[in-house]
Structures are given as C-alpha cells and as structure tokens.
Amino acid sequence: RRESGLASSYLYLFQEFWCPGIAIEGVKGFQKYFQAKDNDVVVASFPKTGTTWLIALTFAIVNRQYFSTENHPLLTSNPHTLVPCLEFKIFCDDIHDPVLHLSNMLEPRLFSTHTPFTALPKSITESNAKIVYICRNPFDTFISAWTYFNKIRSMSLPALELEEAFEMYCNGIVSFGPWWSHMLGYWKESMARPNKVLFLKYEDLKENVNFYVKNIAEFLGCPFTAEEERVGEIESIIKLCSFEKMKELEVNISGKLDKFIDNKFFFRKGEIGDWVNYFSPSMVNKLSKIIEEKLCGSGLSFKICS
C-alpha cells in the first residue's frame, strides 16, 4: 500500500496496477461476475484522458434513434450516470444486486471502465463485446489528474503539492497506473484486433471530432446514413457533447455524481497544452524521457501542444 498517490483514496498494487482502495472490491466483483453480451460496448480509459467526452459521444451515437436533441438525456444527466462505470458503480455498494441490474439494462449496454486491459474479465476480451479506448498526452493527463484529485482529496486527505504528485506520476503511482502500461495494453490489443478495440486520442478528437464520431459509429456497427449526414445528425451530436455545452448545463454545475464527486469536477479547461502553465523545464525533460523510454518501439506517440 502507498500512503496516497494521485487518487481519491489509498492505492494498492493489485494485479500489477495501482488500484484505488475504494475500487478493489468493484474490480474483483467485475472480474468474477460480469457476463458480457456480444453487443456490449465498453468505453475504457486511463483517468482524466477524456472519458466523460467519449462516453457522452458514444451514448449519443448508439442511442440516436431514441432521442431528439431538444429532449436528450445528456441535457439533464451527467454522462457518468448514463454510462455506469463497471468497477465504481455496477460492482460497488451502490447497486444492491449488480447481476440482476445488468440483466435489466437496455441493449446495447454501455459501460465505462478504467481497469487495464490485462485485468479485464475474459468474458469481455473473448466475447464480441467492443471496446472503445481513449488516451491523452501524458503532460495534460497529469495536470488534469492533479487538479481533479486535489478537489476530491480535500474531503479526507491533504492536497498534494505539484512536485510530490509529479514524482508519483513519473513512478506510475496513480489511479490505475502505471499510465504507460495502461495505454500500451489497449494499444497492442487494438493493433492485434482492430475490430475489437478502437484506440482513440483526446488530441485527435479535438482536431477532427467529426471524423471520429463517424469512425466510432462505423466501429460499433451503426454507421450514419447519407440522410442522417444530410440533416446534420453528426453536427448535432458534436454540439450536444461539446465541452462548452456540457459545462454550462445545470446538472453539471450543481449536480453530484456521489457524495465525494461534484459533476463540475469533470469539466475544467478541456484544452490541449494547459500543462505549459505548470511544468518547469526539468519536469518537461523528465517526463519526455519517460515517454520516450516507455513507448519506444510501440508506434504510439502524442501531440502535446495545440
């Protein structure tokens, strides 16, 4: 066990990743009891890499025939309540009987997870369930994580200084870390099985979200028709899920996900390159070297500035 790293609770080295204490039972329950269906969609991510955005987009894409943009659940609910997290919501104490709950969910079922690929249950990896993964450049991910966890920790743990948090991050001691193993696990699988795992980057979505909305829809077997494109369905989804739109919704201003997490914590700046406002030259040097060393030869690289 570590004192407390970049997380909202103590971190434990569990199955070769740093699992927040509050998620261990959830991960175990998920591994033991979850039965994937072939049409399940799992949005996987390392924390603070754009999960909220991707689950909103995926929810809107998959359910587009049911809702109009004027009367959409994303206008009144935070995306995390519409797409439950397997280890934090479904298999945590929130839901009395997770298996019954899962069997009652509308299909296709949409879930999110931060669990590394290597720790996913076989039921997911060996079924036809699809995985959409998002990651983000490690510089912005770090600043986003540091600011986020300090907001949550303020309830029970003292805030982490930037330097202390950075040391832990460089050593991989962060919720669901090391971040390099998390990314590489899904990256390798997406290379080996492109029909199983769609690997996305936050920076690419920021640059051309229209392309990736189509890409996600095709990957999930529900491509946009020419008619949908003509009437602007893609643009409506992009607008509905945009940072500016979601941040100003009442539910994301005053709502709470649970007793520790305010919905507004998920919407900070939503930019590429905010790290420049925090990093010293030696931090840039150190993190650049780690990225080079850990990702070397994998073919995975990141854009770090806008």
Which residues of this protein are in contact with ligand A3P, per CB under 6 A?
45, 47-53, 140, 144, 147, 241-243, 246, 266-270, 274
Nearest distance from residue 134's CB to ligand A3P, in Å?
Answer: 8
- Min dist. Cβ of residue 268 to ligand A3P (A): 3
What is the Cα gyration radius of the chain?
19
Residue 168 near residue 284 (C-beta atoms within 8 A): no
Q: Which is nearer to ligand A3P, 102 or 266 (CB)?
A: 266
> Any idea of the CA torsion for 46, 48, 51, 52, to the nearest 10 degrees?
160
Cα(11)–Cα(25) distance, integer angstroms: 13
Return the H-helix or E-strand segment holding 191. Answer: helix 179-192
114: annotated active-site residue: yes
Task: Give dist(CA 53, CA 150) in Å, integer.
Answer: 21
Name the minimum Å distance from CB 241 to ligand A3P. 5
Name which of 102 and 172 has its Cβ closer to ligand A3P.
172
Burial of residue 293 (CB within 10 Å: 0-12, 13-18, 19+) is exposed
Catalytic: which of 72, 96, 101, 114?
A: 114
CB-wise, 60 or 197, nearer to ligand A3P?
A: 60
Report the interhelical angle of 162-170 vs 138-153 (nearest 10°): 120
Dihedral angle computed from the Cα positions of residues 54, 59, 64 and 66, in that order, rounded to the nearest 10 degrees: -160
Looking at the Cβ atoms of 219 and 266, the one nearer to ligand A3P is 266
C-beta of 173 vs 209, nearer to ligand A3P: 209
Q: Give the residue from 54, 201, 41, 24 showing the smallest Cα distance to 119.
A: 24
Q: How far apart are the first and last CA of the chain?
A: 37
Whether the CB-CB separation of 249 and 267 falls below 8 Å is answered with no
| Alpha carbons 216 and 54: distance in angstroms, whole number | 10
Q: How far is the CB of 179 from ligand A3P (least distance, A)?
A: 12
Least distance CB 59 / ligand A3P (angstroms): 12
Which one, of 279, 57, 62, 70, lies nearest residue 165 by Cα? Answer: 279
Smallest distance, Å, CB 240 to ligand A3P? 9
What phi, psi does 2 have (nearest 5°)? Answer: -100, 150
Closest to ligand A3P by CB, 87 vs 102, is 87
- The residues that are catalytic are 114
